[in-house]
Amino acid sequence: MLIDSHAHLDDSRFDSDRDAALQRAWDAGVRMILTIGNGSGPDQMGCGIPIADAHDWIYTSVGVHPHDAGKVEERHYAQMTEYSKHAKVIAMGETGLDFFYDNSPRDVQRDVFRSQLALAKDLDLPVIIHTRDADADTEQILKEAAPIRGVIHCFTSGEKLAQCALELGFYISFSGIVTFPNARPLAEIARRIPADRILVETDCPYLAPVPHRGKRNEPGFVADTARFVAALREMTLDELADQTAANFHKLFAVKTS
Ligand SMILES: [Zn+2]
Ligand SMILES: [Zn+2]
């Protein structure tokens, strides 16, 4: 059972063929998808709910991406609390820090990140963390928030943040980036982290894995990333799929009927 632990199915790049892309994912062996509830800003954070409602194998999250931290108003936290009561909402995020793009001021990103971690704790939801070029700040803020459960998604950080995440009980999720020939240090982390902490994802429509690199990414391509990680770890694809699915269920406590 393959799970795509992080997709943006609401993205307009799926508007012309969303159902066909989901069918291809199913045909590739994907049996669960977590579609992220960020949309293009805090007013769209419910964007994953209609998609999750329409498919019993799709779940969703709710939260504000660091790019959009500058758009957050107090009322958005009340809205997150409201959305979190929905049966298909199983996580908060993605939230975090992005000091590569700096689309929102860094102090605002830190505030909004801290607030979402605090709310996730109140609501007993796992968090999905986005961090880019912000390892030291992410580490500090996660340590302040501990104990908290979650995943660093689309992991591209260094060894130090990986160690910190593992010590805090976090999971680490690898996207198609791990398959890129210039990502050897990342592949080394994917090879070595404990089996019970690893997840795989597409982060589609972004970051298609080899051999689809440069194309629009879609959930079915998680099989290519999983196959690559399985080879690194000298496991079969089925073993890696079963392990990451078990990890996903443990972290997100998905209720299946
Ligand atoms: Zn992200
Ligand atoms: Zn994402």
Check the CA dihedral 13-17-19-20 and report its sign: negative
The tens digit of pLDDT for each residue in 61-114 reads: 999 999 999 999 999 999 999 999 999 999 999 999 999 999 999 999 999 999
Centre of ligand 2 to C-alpha 155, Å, is 11
For 54, the token pair is 């329409």
Residues 6+ apart with CB under 8 A from 109: 66, 69, 96, 97, 98, 99
128 contacts 151 by C-beta, under 8 angstroms: yes
Mean pLDDT of 237-241: 98
Centre of ligand 2 to C-alpha 41, Å, is 13
The tens digit of pLDDT for each residue in 133-177 reads: 999 999 999 999 999 999 999 999 999 999 999 999 999 999 999
Quickly state the pLDDT bin for 256 (edges 50, 70, 90).
Answer: low
Quickly state the pLDDT bin for 12 (edges 50, 70, 90).
Answer: very high
Ligand at minimal distance from the CA of 201 is 2
Judge whether residue 248 has pLDDT over 80. yes
First to last CA, the chain: 16
Quickly state the pLDDT bin for 255 (edges 50, 70, 90).
Answer: low
Q: What pLDDT is attached to residue 201?
A: 98
Exposed / middle / buried, residue 9 (Cβ in 10 Å: 0-12, 13-18, 19+): buried
Which residue, 241, 156, 252, 150, is CA-closest to 207? 156
- 3-class secondary structure, 139: helix
β-bridge partners, 2: 30
- Which residues have CB less than 5 Å away from ligand 1 (the ion)? 94, 130
Ligand at minimal distance from the CA of 61 is 2
Centre of ligand 1 to C-alpha 135, Å, is 14
Element (DSSP H or E) covering residue 152: strand 150-152
Quickly state the pLDDT bin for 254 (edges 50, 70, 90).
Answer: confident
Centre of ligand 2 to C-alpha 5, Å, is 10
β-bridge partners, 32: 3
Ligand at minimal distance from the CA of 98 is 1
Centre of ligand 2 to C-alpha 152, Å, is 11
For 103, the token pair is 């689309």
Quickly state the pLDDT bin for 3 (edges 50, 70, 90).
Answer: very high
Centre of ligand 1 to C-alpha 23, Å, is 24
Quickly state the pLDDT bin for 235 (edges 50, 70, 90).
Answer: very high
Q: What pLDDT is attached to residue 103?
A: 96
Centre of ligand 2 to C-alpha 94, Å, is 7
Mean pLDDT of 47-55: 98
For the chain, the average pLDDT equals 97
Residues 6+ apart with CB under 8 A from 107: none
Centre of ligand 2 to C-alpha 132, Å, is 12
Mean pLDDT of 19-40: 98
Centre of ligand 2 to C-alpha 172, Å, is 14
Which residue, 26, 82, 14, 85, is CA-closest to 58? 26
Quickly state the pLDDT bin for 5 (edges 50, 70, 90).
Answer: very high
Judge whether residue 207 has pLDDT over 90. yes
